[in-house]
Amino acid sequence: MAPRTSVTVEVNSNGKRAKCKDSLGCNQPMKCRSKRSIAKCGNQIFESMGMSSTNQTVKLFNAVEGGNLSAVKNLIQETGPAVRQAKTCCTLLHTAAKANRTDIAAFLLKFIHPTVVNTDNQTPCHLAAMHGHLEVLQILLSDRETNHNLRDVNGKTYRDFLAVQLFKAVLWWKKFEIEKLLTLGADPDYDIGKMVHGTVSRELNVKTTRQLANALGRDSIVQMFPE
C-alpha cells in the first residue's frame, strides 16, 4: 500500500501560520492560495502520482459530506486522496469527521494519515470531538498512528473538546453519551473555562464537569467518574 498522505502547517518565527505542506510535496503560502493556485498545486501532485486532476474534486467532497461511499470510491480514483479545501486545507478525512460519516472515515484511513492537520493545526479527531461525533472519533482513535497529544493553534487537543461534550452531556443527563465520552478519554476534572459559555456555569459557579454534576445533585453520574 502506498504511503498515506499527511498535511502539516508550518509556523513562522512570529508565530503566524505560513504554509500548508503535505507529504506529497505541496508547499505554498496559505495567504496566496487562491482556488486557481490550489488546483495548480493539485495538478502537480496528481501528475507526480500518475493521476489526472479534474473538476471532480468538488463532487468528491460533496459525496463525503453527503455520506455517499460508493461515489467516494469512484471519484477518489480520479482525484487521488490528497485533495483538500482551499481556505481551510481540510482533507477528505476532516470532512468525513465533521459530517459524522463513519464508513467513509474508515475507508479514507487507508489513504490519509489520521494526524493530518488543517490550517488551524486541527486533526480529524479535533473536528469529530468538537462536533460530538463519537463513533467517528472512535474509528480515528483506533488507528495506531493517531497522535493523541497534538494541539491546534489554540493549544487544544481533541480531549479538550471531549471535555466540553462531557459537560454538555451531564447538563442534559445523557447517560449513554457520558459513558461513551469517558471511554474515549473525556476528563471530568478538566477546567472548561472559556470553552463553555452559559448561564448555568455562571450561576452555579462551576468550572469542571465533576463540579457541575455535584452542583446539580446527580450522584449517579458522579459515581461514573474515575476518582
In the chain (227 residues long), the average pLDDT of successive 10-residue segments reads: 59 42 41 35 41 74 98 96 94 98 98 97 98 98 97 97 96 96 98 74 85 95 95
Q: What is the pLDDT of residue 194?
A: 72
156, 122 contact by CB (below 8 A): no
For residue 116, give the amino acid letter: V
Residue 188 C-alpha cell reads as 471530568
The residues of the chain that CATH labels 1.25.40.20 are 7-141
124, 115 contact by CB (below 8 A): no
Distance, CA of 17 to CA of 119 (rounded, Å) = 7
Q: In the sheet where 17-22 sits, what is the strand order?
A: 7-11, 17-22, 27-29
CATH 3.40.50.1970 fits 7-141, yes or no: no
Q: How far is CA 224 from CA 165, 186, 204, in A?
A: 16, 12, 21
Q: What is the pLDDT of residue 203?
A: 76
Q: What is the pLDDT of residue 14?
A: 41
175, 140 contact by CB (below 8 A): no
Q: What is the pLDDT of residue 55?
A: 84
DSSP reduced 3-state for 10? strand
Q: What is the pLDDT of residue 2?
A: 59
Beta bridge partners of 20: 9, 28
For residue 81, give the amino acid letter: P
